[in-house]
Amino acid sequence: MAQKDTVTAILNAAEELFSERGFAETSLRNITTRAGVNLAAVNYHFGSKKALIQAVFARFLTPFSEQLASELRGYRAQLQDEVPELNSLLMLLPATALRTDKGNPRRLGIFMRLLGLAYTQGQGHLRKYLQTEYSAVFRDFMQLVSAATPNLSNEDRFWRIHFMLGATVFTLSGVDSLTAMAEHDLGKSADITSVVSQLTPFLAAGLNAPP
Amino acid sequence: MAQKDTVTAILNAAEELFSERGFAETSLRNITTRAGVNLAAVNYHFGSKKALIQAVFARFLTPFSEQLASELRGYRAQLQDEVPELNSLLMLLPATALRTDKGNPRRLGIFMRLLGLAYTQGQGHLRKYLQTEYSAVFRDFMQLVSAATPNLSNEDRFWRIHFMLGATVFTLSGVDSLTAMAEHDLGKSADITSVVSQLTPFLAAGLNAPP
DNA sequence: AGATGTTTCAAACATACGTTTAAAACACAA
DNA sequence: TTGTGTTTTAAACGTATGTTTGAAACATCT
């Protein structure tokens, strides 16, 4: 097995298991067993469990943030001096996320669950890593959101952005169990793209609500 | 030290530590050290770590759900046959939560963080416990929400309720770091009650958004 | 083919965990 | 005070974890 195979097998297994059980609840033995590699492979290829956790995030986040940065440049160029339209701006995020690994929308749910864990679970090293690594693109995006909502005070916008973030992360991270519930309660099935298309008008309405 | 003192000392320490680090990341030795009691006290008084986790939730949730059930009875009685008004209905939740342990709004943040953990972190036993124990009151509340939003389809309402839940849990569970960010970015301080008063119009607008 | 650097492997290491135990300390009624 | 049931204590138990090790297997190049 070539080196790359082992590394990606570990990353795949870790990604799934972390999202299912959390970081502390997933042992290296769980990961290496599912990946079909030797236990020592993690420490050999990544150095430590912490480094593996960061690598799992980097594998998704680096292509995503690069893609988003380029999309933002295009959006800004097409915009000229007009005020950006909120709905299309918000749609940019799930659109690039789904485009980042096309053909596998399930992965977005997995990654959202990981993102939720990164916030709720301790893992101080992870928050620090994410902040230093990916905050530039996020700031760019926020600047456009500010331009799209000139009627909001900075304070209102600040809070509502985080309300939106919460609704998104929470819903998409639990999208599997939620769609199961929806199917049981309503008899209607749904996938992550349909949930996103329900989510965006909700978010836009909340963000534009009268104070 | 009387029995009750040891038990509540453990519950207090566990509540804080769980909310700070998560369940798996908090050891019984952490808890008993902070509580100033012997390590074996947890297994003596609660039986196991799992049972302690459930007890932490029960201490908050049992008074809360009883209070809420009574508030819902009052709300329904005052309503007669009118259609319930959405904003006042939504306000009922934070109002009773803040009333449950009055004088300590910080505790609501702690508990929201725990609730978020219960969802995101594995802890299957916890989800099962919460469901069997407190689902009745929740169903009552949901019925009123349905009456307050007759224009929504069951499917739209289902998803938007969960969007609201996500925004609430996520924001209130991170209320400490968020208020710190708000103070740093905007120079304005905020407490949990002011966040809640910002949150409810956001939620109501999202729930009533055109489909 | 032989030498060299890389990757895998089974085994062991040290440490931390949840839990159990048996004795000591305590509370309190007879 | 003695006796009884409860609570606390220090120590140990068994298990699981992340990490390290040194030899074996492998790949790559001259």
Q: Nearest nt to B52, CA vs C1'? A: C18
Residues contacting residue A41 through CB under 8 Å, at least 6 positions apart:
A6, A10, A32, A35
- pLDDT class of A121 with cuts at 50, 70, 90: low
| A162–B166 C-beta distance less than 8 A | no
Whether B148 is in a domain gets the answer yes
Answer whether A25 touches B (CB < 8 Å).
yes
| Residue with more model confidence, A173 or B78 | B78
Whether B202 is in a domain gets the answer yes
Q: What is the rounded distance in angstroms from the CA atom of residue A20 to the CA atom of residue A196?
A: 21
Q: What residue of A is the nearest CA neighbor of B124?
A: A21
Q: Is the CB of A6 under 7 A from strand C?
A: yes
Q: Is residue B9 within 8 Å of residue B35, measured between CB atoms?
A: yes
Question: Nearest CA to A141 among A197, A62, A88, A63?
Answer: A88
- pLDDT class of A124 with cuts at 50, 70, 90: low
Which two three-digit tokens encode residue B150? 């007759």
Whether B80 is in a domain gets the answer yes
Tens of pLDDT, residues B142-159: 999 999 999 999 999 999
| Cross-chain CB nearest to A209 (options B154, B163, B205) | B205
Q: Which pLDDT value is given to residue B121?
A: 65
| Residue B67 vs residues A126, B99, B137: alpha-carbon distances, Å | 39, 9, 10
Residue A175 confidence (pLDDT) above 70 = yes
Q: What is the DSSP string of B133-158?
A: HHHHHHHHHHHHHHHH-TTS-HHHHH
Cα distance between the two ends of chain A: 59
Tens of pLDDT, residues B41-70: 999 999 999 999 999 999 999 999 999 999
C1' of D13 to CA of B39 (Å): 15
Q: Please state the rounded mean pLDDT for residues A84-98.
A: 88
Determine the number of helices (DSSP H) and then strands (DSSP E) in chain A: 10, 0
- pLDDT class of A140 with cuts at 50, 70, 90: very high
CATH number of the domain bearing residue B5: 1.10.10.60
Residues contacting residue B98 through CB under 8 Å, at least 6 positions apart:
B105, B108, B193
Answer whether A185 touches B (CB < 8 Å).
yes
Residues A1 and A88 in one domain: no
Residue B190 confidence (pLDDT) above 50 = yes
Q: Which pLDDT value is given to residue A181?
A: 82
Tens of pLDDT, residues B70-111: 999 999 999 988 999 988 898 898 889 888 887 788 888 888
Q: Is the CB of A88 under 7 A from strand C?
A: no
Which two three-digit tokens encode residue A153? 């005070």
Question: B171 vs chain A: nearest CA distance in angstroms?
Answer: 6
The average confidence (pLDDT) of chain A is 89
Residues A63 and A5 in one domain: no
Residues B20 and B112 in one domain: no
The average confidence (pLDDT) of chain B is 89
Whether B176 is in a domain gets the answer yes
Q: What is the rounded distance in angstroms from the CA atom of residue B130 to the CA atom of residue B21?
A: 21
Q: Is residue B91 within 8 Å of residue B200, measured between CB atoms?
A: yes
Q: Is residue B37 within 8 Å of residue B11, measured between CB atoms?
A: no
Question: What is the percentage of chain A residues whose pLDDT exceeds 70?
Answer: 95
Residues with CB under 7 A from strand D: A 2, 26-30, 39-40, 42-44, 48-50; B 1-3, 5-6, 37-41, 44-45
Can you give the residue range of the structural domain that contains B124? Answer: 57-207
Whether B141 is in a domain gets the answer yes
| A205–B208 C-beta distance less than 8 A | yes
Question: A200 vs chain B: nearest CA distance in angstroms?
Answer: 10
Question: Nearest CA to A193 among A106, A92, A68, A118?
Answer: A106
- pLDDT class of A120 with cuts at 50, 70, 90: low
| B121–A120 C-beta distance less than 8 A | yes
Tens of pLDDT, residues B76-85: 999 988 999 9
| Widest CA span in chain A | 59
Q: What is the rounded distance in angstroms from the CA atom of residue A195 to the CA atom of residue A150?
A: 28
Q: Which pLDDT value is given to residue B1?
A: 41
Q: Which pLDDT value is given to residue B119?
A: 73
Residues B97 and B4 in one domain: no
Residues B96 and B25 in one domain: no
Which two three-digit tokens encode residue A132? 């230093």
Q: Which pLDDT value is given to residue B15?
A: 96
Tens of pLDDT, residues A10-42: 999 999 999 988 898 999 999 999 999 999 999
Q: Is residue A202 within 8 Å of residue A167, measured between CB atoms?
A: yes
Question: What is the percentage of chain B residues whose pLDDT exceeds 70?
Answer: 95
Residue B124 confidence (pLDDT) above 80 = no
Residue with tokens 């519930």: A181
CATH number of the domain bearing residue A82: 1.10.357.10
- pLDDT class of A156 with cuts at 50, 70, 90: very high
| Residue with more model confidence, A64 or B118 | A64
Which two three-digit tokens encode residue A36? 């079909």
Phi and psi (nearest 5°) for A26?
-105, 120
Q: Which pLDDT value is given to residue A41?
A: 97
Whether A179 is in a domain gets the answer yes
C1' of D23 to CA of A40 (Å): 14
- pLDDT class of B12 with cuts at 50, 70, 90: very high
Q: What is the rounded distance in angstroms from the CA atom of residue A167 to the CA atom of residue B141?
A: 20
Residues B139 and B178 in one domain: yes
Whether B103 is in a domain gets the answer yes
Least confident of A85-94, A122-131, B4-13, B54-63: A122-131
Q: Which pLDDT value is given to residue A2?
A: 47
Residues B89 and B163 in one domain: yes
| Cross-chain CB nearest to A202 (options B116, B160, B170) | B160
| Residue with more model confidence, A130 or B164 | B164
In chain A, which residues have their Cβ closer than 8 Å to the Cβ of B208? 205
Q: Is residue A206 within 8 Å of residue B205, measured between CB atoms?
A: yes
Q: Please state the rounded mean pLDDT for residues A152-156.
A: 93
Q: What is the DSSP string of A44-113?
A: HHTSSHHHHHHHHHHHHHHHHHHHHHHHHHHHHHHHTTSPPPHHHHHHHHHHHHHHHTTT-THHHHHHHH
Residues A94 and A113 in one domain: yes
| Residue B124 vs residues A20, A150, B113, B127, B180: alpha-carbon distances, Å | 11, 44, 17, 5, 33
Q: Please state the rounded mean pLDDT for residues A32-55.
A: 96
Question: B199 vs chain A: nearest CA distance in angstroms?
Answer: 7
Number of Cβ within a 10 Å radius of residue B76: 14
Q: Which pLDDT value is given to residue A198?
A: 92
Q: Is the CB of A32 under 7 A from strand C?
A: no
| Residue with more model confidence, B119 or A60 | A60
Counting the structural domains of chain A, the total is 2
Q: What is the DSSP string of B53-112?
A: HHHHHHHHHHHHHHHHHHHHHHHHHHHTTSPPPHHHHHHHHHHHHHHHTTT-THHHHHHH
Question: A31 vs chain B: nearest CA distance in angstroms?
Answer: 16
Whether A52 is in a domain gets the answer no
Residues A125 and A196 in one domain: yes
Q: Please state the rounded mean pLDDT for residues A164-171.
A: 90
| Cross-chain CB nearest to B171 (options A166, A178, A198) | A166
